[in-house]
Structure 1
């Protein structure tokens, strides 16, 4: 009985985490450049059930007993949410005519042969402590030093330095070169993650590498074809209709397992307090 109770409980916890993931996706449906999470639900390893029996054989004038096992079948012990994985497919580009809206438009991106997933492109930004992080947000702004930033973090050029402009009257070419009044101010550094399994979400539109290394630049990679679009923003790639449908399914699965749990609770209550009672 307890095995079924644990199985139902693990299913409820899994569906709760799935609901939290879908809620976060829907909440960020209008966040520029947001990449939705997808969850992988896995089952715990199956257990093989066998029936223990005893048998005997005649040996001369007597008999000898021995035990044997008869396979019954396998039983599953529950499920769990294995991982949350960002989906890095490109969102739709929307024109805003704002000079500080700068979006990456993917044309040809290599595919990882092991995972069969496309590589992902990011802007490289520097944190206050000097660490490098990556962002897909297309909403830029200027800080007090007139440096191009994403959420307050300086956007790096291909030479590893922040890009400083005089005002918002700057231009960005499709290769990412920033200029103002005919002066070249630097080229926005776009990095590529050839294996997206090495990229983890950090929050605040930032990503980091799992191994702590830096992503290579995509600017001179002959296998990558992209352009940088000024005055455009990349919308999130959240499919709201699908996520609402999955959320409804998650709620129903949670409620079904909750009823199973309640049924086990009643059975255990009766076994503990009623069966064997002396009247």
Structure 2
């Protein structure tokens, strides 16, 4: 009976992780370029119950085991992975909005209490700051190959290869990078990623589209159904634990009773 409680409790842990991921996905359904998270689950290995079939003494080996059965201890969360499938490109008509149809990521110069670092994002919702630099909605500057992109205030164009042409006819190549193994990207909050494998490589055919934004890849209907199923399963697991507890209490109280 105790094992039943452990199994149900492990299920609650998994359901809580799934609920957190699903809720976060739904909260970011309108976040530009957001990629949904999925929880990975694996069963505990079956444990072989063994007994000592023959006990020997006098220096003889005790390694002669006989299997008596198997048991399963439930499941465990092995990780949370990001689904990097592209979202839909939505036309906005704004000159400062950029979207990527390829596999790349925009590069941003992000400052925090630990200093300045380069982070990556699919979010191309930009604006021109007071100094004429292209920045995202958090004020972080998007990077070109030679540093932050300065466009001034007189308009600019961007072609599909990521070349920005300013009103003064200056051309700046956006630093759009790609990563061979996206599982090595780490979410840093604020729709940014860092890479465990360095700075990535120059994106081939980045497919930059001006006046468009990439929507999140969250399927609202599917995630809403998932959330309902998770909540129902969570309630069922709670009831199972309660029932197992009642049975355990009953067994303890009845053991040794003489009538």
Q: Check whether TM > 0.5.
A: yes
Distance 2:163 2:243 in 1: 65
Query: Counterparts in 2 of 1:121-160, with a 5 A limit?
Result: 121-128=104-111, 129-150=115-136, 151-159=138-146
What is the aligned partner in structure 2 of residue 214 from structure 1? 199
Distance 1:143 1:74 in 2: 65
Superimposed CA distance per residue, residues 45-103 of structure 1 (whole angstroms, 9 cap, x where no aligned partner): 22112356679xxxxxxxxxx99754233211121221111111111101110111111
- Is the 2:52–2:63 contact (alpha carbons within 8 Å) kept by the matching residues of 1? yes
Query: How far 1:269 sits from its partner (Å)?
Result: 2.1
Distance 1:142 1:73 in 2: 68
Distance 2:154 2:189 in 1: 27
Query: How far 1:240 sits from its partner (Å)?
Result: 1.4
Superimposed CA distance per residue, residues 146-204 of structure 1 (whole angstroms, 9 cap, x where no aligned partner): 21112221111022x10112126221122211122242241111000111111011110
Gap runs ≥5 in structure 2: 56-61
Aligned length: 249
TM-score normalized by the length of structure 2: 0.87
What is the aligned partner in structure 2 of residue 192 from structure 1? 178
Distance 2:31 2:3 in 1: 43
- Is the 1:104–1:228 contact (alpha carbons within 8 Å) kept by the matching residues of 2? yes
Relative to structure 1, the CA distance from residue 24 to residue 73 in structure 2 (aligned partners, 3 Å threshold; closer, same or farther) is same
Query: Counterparts in 2 of 1:104-253, with a 5 A limit?
Result: 104-106=100-102, 120-128=103-111, 129-150=115-136, 151-159=138-146, 161-167=147-153, 169-211=155-197, 213-218=198-203, 224-253=204-233
TM-score normalized by the length of structure 1: 0.82
Query: Matched residue of 2:202: which SS?
Result: coil
Gap runs ≥5 in structure 1: 56-65, 107-119, 219-223
